[in-house]
Structure 1
Amino acid sequence: MEIEATVLAIKRAQQVLDTAYFGLKTLKSGDPAEKSAGLRNVLVFGRSVTFVIQNLRTIVGESKFNSWYEPHQNQMRADPLMRYFVEARNNLEKQGRLDVAVSGTVHSFSGGDLAKIEKPPFDATSFFMGDQNGGSGWEMDLGGGETIKYYVSIPKTVGEFRQVFHSLPDNIPEELRSLSVDALCEIYLGKLSGLLAAVKKEFLIGPKERPYLRLVK
């Protein structure tokens, strides 16, 4: 039935969006080594939301769907941030490229500051701040010339580091250009959430009004 197929298609779109949000959660609060995976999930699953939504075209009818979807599609195409995320996903899928860099500031770093930072589980060879993932921590020698990174949190009084997109086009609004990768991802997914909410409002049948009896005296 059309209603059941519509519900299923929208449910799948919600699941895909939820997966993108899980990527955002990893990007914002996960281990620095996992940030890349979080961003990849935001880009891939975020882009897939619109693909899944368009499956409704064969369910509700091409004419009905297109007349509703085209204004939303045109709005997304005219949005520089939405266009950028489409291109970022394409770069990832076709070239395996993530256009991110690290921006940060060291406020204070002395022997006293270092003493306040979590120590590694065994002897470290060096301390680093603001690597390609925006993380800080210790490099430890595993022997045989192999090293491994042990990430720790550093106080903001010592330094602040974040990932940024280094290839934002000139038409991105100025107020967005200085935001971090995770902040821009949150805005992007918020726009997709708004689109999915509009889909539900348009194509899901809400509960019918309960019938009532009219009493005639």
Structure 2
Amino acid sequence: MHDIQAYLWPTPNALEELNVPYDLHLINIGKNEQFAPEFLKISPNNKIPAIIDQNPPSEFGEGALPIFESGVILQYLADYKKGEGAPDLYPKNPRERVRVNEWLTWQVGGLGPNMGQLNHFSSTNIDYAKERFSKEVDRLLGVMNKRLGEYKYLAGDNYTIADIASYNWVIYNDKAKAADTPFPNIKGWLERISERPAVKKAMEKATIPK
């Protein structure tokens, strides 16, 4: 058993990028496994991802450390669990870290929730909700597209946890991936990240069981 126990559904994750050994536990949200009592002990908000660090650094005290909320997980892994030879995905430089935190928070508070609502209402006949969230997602993607026209990645010229957080949502957006996408800078960003060996490896590991 590895120190890190990762509970998620098929999405790329920072553990591969950071060269952190982990055991994968797929949580099938289609079968409501996120509501299982044992999972709620880790993630009381019944959302994925979540992790348990069986051997956290000494400053966290004794005992296993469960962590939920994707932004906090990304920050923790990058700060405390980075493996040998792994890239610096969360820079220590205060100015650079502010940029990463801005775009990480932008995803957690805006892009992710609105894409989630759009995905939900797209399968309903509630036209107002579909239009409302479709417009907001397009607005947010427009913000992102503009940023990626100025920089290679969201926080600047280096790939960071902010990119990981947004990629996990945008990769499933058909408009961003379309040949005639109105967001060409996002499409190029998606293609760059999709070619990363760690992303390919994570997707292979997180195959949806049949």
Superposed pair shares fold, TM > 0.5 = no
Decide which structure has the larger Cα Rg and report it.
1
TM-score (norm 2): 0.27
TM-score (norm 1): 0.26
